[in-house]
Structure 1
Amino acid sequence: MHFKILSAPWLGNPVVRQTIRLLVSVGLCGFVTWITNLQEPGWALITSVIVTQSSITETLSSGRYQLVGTLIGAAASILPITLMLYHWPLWESFAIAFVPLAILASWKPGTRMGVVTLMIATLFATPNDPYLLPVERVLSILMGVGVSMLVTYVVLHEQARRDAFRNAATTVRQIVEMLTQAHNHEMDWAQIQDLNDASVASLRKVQSAVEEARREHWRPLEKRDPMLAELPKALRQLQMDALVVTRAVLLAEHQPVQGKDEATDPLSPALMRAFDWIIQRCESEVVSRTGEEYRVAAGVITALPDDGAQGEEIMGFVMGVLRTDLKTLIQLLAEDDTKKA
């Protein structure tokens, strides 16, 4: 059950959400370093700032780079520290480990933190216990990464689902715009392709948000939210269908006129009603996962023209494919409520 404050409109602002995550991460990390009496708490706090990103995917990636780089740097620092204990010059000892790590960082940029750790552990080593600093550094990074992961999973982590449906609504609007411009012959094929590129970009955002949602919980997305899991696939098919329809419309020899056969009209009232229903349904999912039943979806599907209606052969075929995939998406968003109507 969600508290009312968690559904406040201002929490939809990504800047506000990330600010809250960052503040919680730094505050929690500071508290953990205090109760554990960590000797170098600053590095843990710095790590929490670097690792805490706006998405779980980015946080996991940043945390992995920080952790792997630190472990490599800490392990590499053992050699120069040992050499200095045997009275080797500082810079010669440092160079022996630095050169290989510099090559590794150039080859694998994600390991750059290893160079930083090596510098800290070697150039600022503690005289009494030189091996303590690498260990402290690793503990600080582990603490910062661990806290950042926890905060990213716990604090405001449902944003990905809202992002997916928000971008899904945008994608459908762009599909409708493509069909409208092609129907009215107000754009040529190159301009239509630009609109299609925009819809593809929105669709990629849907896919990214769904991938993010997969990482928000341990349970598979297909089991806890099958509608969200299938959303990119259904949208992708609809987007490809719309592109084919717009191409067929532009290649048609006759200009589209009002009152034509609905089976071959990409702007028929029934089709527009179906698109509007999908947009409204997606936008409702942005606000909340709960709400009224969607039995109206059955009426939307029933109102669509039959695929066997008379019409120009090519347009009839491509429009039939579009309607089929449109029905599939409506049924998905209606959570099979059409079967109960």
Structure 2
Amino acid sequence: MTASLKSITAWLRSRKVELGLGVRVTVAAMGALVIALALGLKLPLWAVLTSIIVTQMSVGRSLKATRDYLVGTVGGALYGAAIAILIPHNGEGALLAVLVLAVAPLAFMAAINPSLNVATVTAIIVLLLPLMNHGTPLASAIDRVLEVTVGALTGLAVSFLVLPSRAHSQVRLMAARVLELMASALTELLSGLTRGRDADALHKLQDGIGAALVGLNTTGAEAERERNARLSSGPYTGPVLRTTLRLRHDLVMIGRASVVPLPVELQQRLAAPLARVTDAIVGYLRASAAALRGGMLPPAILPVQSALQAYAAEVAALRSEGLTRGLAGDVAERFFALGFSLEQMRQNLKDLERCVAVWADASVVQARKIEEEEVE
């Protein structure tokens, strides 16, 4: 029982962001319902649904969702009400024609700008709801805007006040996750040069990296939105986003260079240097991920540089001995492309070192400065 409780507790701690979202959505729905009932809104349902929709994983995402939902609602309500008032639609045929006029332009605009998706739904509600409750299109439009406004503002307020989650802090965690996935992929890629590789496992890792990078870029945009609204401070997200993307490109190039194992005579000479390169880079990526999570300074990059220098020296020795002259054209191309790719990764790891240093907590940086001053 104790082990199970510890396991559940550990799992819940690892899902703090998701738990926070669940609490915020619940509070937002309850708050929207209470406010809608207090104001006597005709359909509190729309206020509750809107509050749930705009309460997102981060404050930055909630800001965007609130803006998009309010703009789409107001635009759709105004357009739907105008169509309903200006064009008579007493019969079924006329109603169908008016519905086409209401839906087609807004659907076209939503296809161009997805943030306006709600406008089409709002226009339909404004147009058809009066037929059910015997109201007027104008009253329907006003009610709809009021209901959505209550829900949107309630959801946004809850996002700010109840367990707020900043996109800026999520960038740090997501970037660390990307680095860990890259470390696992690099292990599989470089080991493939001497023993072959598991294509299925590698594809799964590469897909995971791609999905993680998409999420990281989305969260980075939300973090900059928070910064522009002066809701958060800290490093710009651009450098860490660009560096992780370049590291992904390095992995792609290494993957192409390691599609088949090296010739046996090269494996015998390069197995040990490649193993040291793998251990050094993988260890550096994982240590950098841990530093990002903890707000610590970057790990030492010297082991990576030393391992790559030893590998380059062994490659130079192979070339001086003439062991690369008899390689087939495609094999030689992949062999030298591997060296180029590793050198590119070394440069990008230096950029990663700077990024991790920038994202370190101010207290950690200050403590390091004090230590250096004491040593001097």
Change (3 A) 1:25 1:256: farther
Q: Which has the higher helix share?
A: 2
| Counterpart secondary structure, 2:309 | coil
Q: What SS does the aligned partner of 1:297 have?
A: coil
- Counterpart residue number, 1:199: 209
Give the aligned partner of residue 100 of structure 2. Answer: 99
The corresponding residue for 1:50 is 53
Code of the aligned partner of 1:334: A
- CA-based RMSD of the aligned residues comes to 4.2
Describe the shift of the 1:273–1:195 C-alpha distance in structure 2 as closer, same or farther (beyond 3 A): same
* CA contact 2:62–2:156 (8 Å) conserved in 1: no
2:354 maps to 331
Q: CA offsets per residue over residues 175-228 of structure 1, 9 Å max, x none? A: 3233333233322889866654443333333323322322344368997223x4
> Contact between 2:66 and 2:153, CA under 8 Å: does it hold in 1?
no
**Alpha-carbon shift at residue 74 of structure 1 (Å):** 4.4
In the alignment, structure 1 residue 157 sits paired with structure 2 residue 162 = no
CA distance, structure 2, for counterparts of residue 191 and residue 146 of structure 1: 46
Residue type matched to 1:306 in 2?
Q
Residue equivalent to 1:3:
none
Whole-angstrom distance in 1 between the partners of 2:289 and 2:231: 18
What residue in structure 1 maps to residue 125 of structure 2? Answer: 116
Does the 8 A contact of 2:175 with 2:289 survive in 1? yes
| Ranges in structure 1 where 5+ consecutive residues have no aligned partner | 1-7
For residues 158 and 91 of structure 1, the distance between their equivalents in structure 2, rounded to whole angstroms, comes to: 50
- Count residues with an aligned counterpart: 321
Hey, what does 1:311 align to over in structure 2? 315
Partner residue in 1 for 2:249: 240
Alignment of 1:105-144 (within 5 A): 106-107=107-108, 108=110, 110=117, 111-113=119-121, 114-126=123-135, 131-144=138-151
Kindly tell me: are residues 82 and 246 of structure 1, through their superposed partners in 2, closer, same or farther at Cα, counting changes over 3 Å? closer
- Specify the alignment match of 1:60 in structure 2: 64
Deviations 1:266-287 (A, max 9, x none): 431x65234323323323433x
CA contact (8 A) 2:47 2:151 kept: yes
TM-score by length of structure 2 reads 0.67
Change (3 A) 1:59 1:100: farther
Matches within 5 A, 1:3-14: 10=13, 12-13=15-16
> Which sits farther off after the overlay, 245-254 or 315-324?
245-254
Cα shift at 1:231 = 1.8
- In the alignment, what sits opposite 1:231? 240
> Do the aligned partners of residues 130 and 157 (structure 1) sit closer, same or farther apart at CA in structure 2, a change above 3 Å counting?
same
Superposed CA deviations along residues 92-151 of structure 1, whole A, max 9, x for unmatched, are 77555323113335544723312123212454244xx77433212211112212222343
AA at the equivalent of 1:323: R
C-alpha change, 1:27 and 1:175, in structure 2 (3 Å) is same
Counterpart for residue 27 of structure 1: 30
Alignment TM-score, normalising by the size of structure 1 = 0.73
Q: Hey, what's the Cα distance between the residues in 2 that align with 1:258 and 1:158?
A: 51
Q: Kindly state the Cα deviation for residue 301 of structure 1 after the two structures are TM-superposed.
A: 5.4
- Contact kept, 8 Å, 2:57 with 2:165, in 1: the verdict is no
Distance 1:65 1:145, change over 3 A: same
Task: Note the C-alpha offset of 1:22.
Answer: 0.8
SS in 2 for 1:225: coil
Equivalent AA in structure 1 for residue 243 of structure 2:
A
Distance 1:328 1:65 in 2: 39
Counterparts of 1:39 and 1:306, CA distance in 2: 73
Corresponding residue SS for 1:157: coil
Corresponding residue for residue 324 of structure 2: none
Q: 2:285 aligned to 278, 290, 296, which one?
A: 278
Asked if 2 retains the 8 angstrom alpha-carbon contact of 1:261 and 1:311, the reply is no
CA gap 1:68/1:33 in 2 versus in 1, 3 angstroms: same
- Identical counterparts, % of pairs: 16
| Structure 2: gaps of 5 or more residues | 1-10, 112-116, 320-335
Contact kept? 2:51, 2:151, Cα under 8 Å:
yes
CA shift for structure 1 position 11? 6.7
Tell me the equivalent position of 1:5: none
2:80 is matched with 76
SS in 2 for 1:156: coil
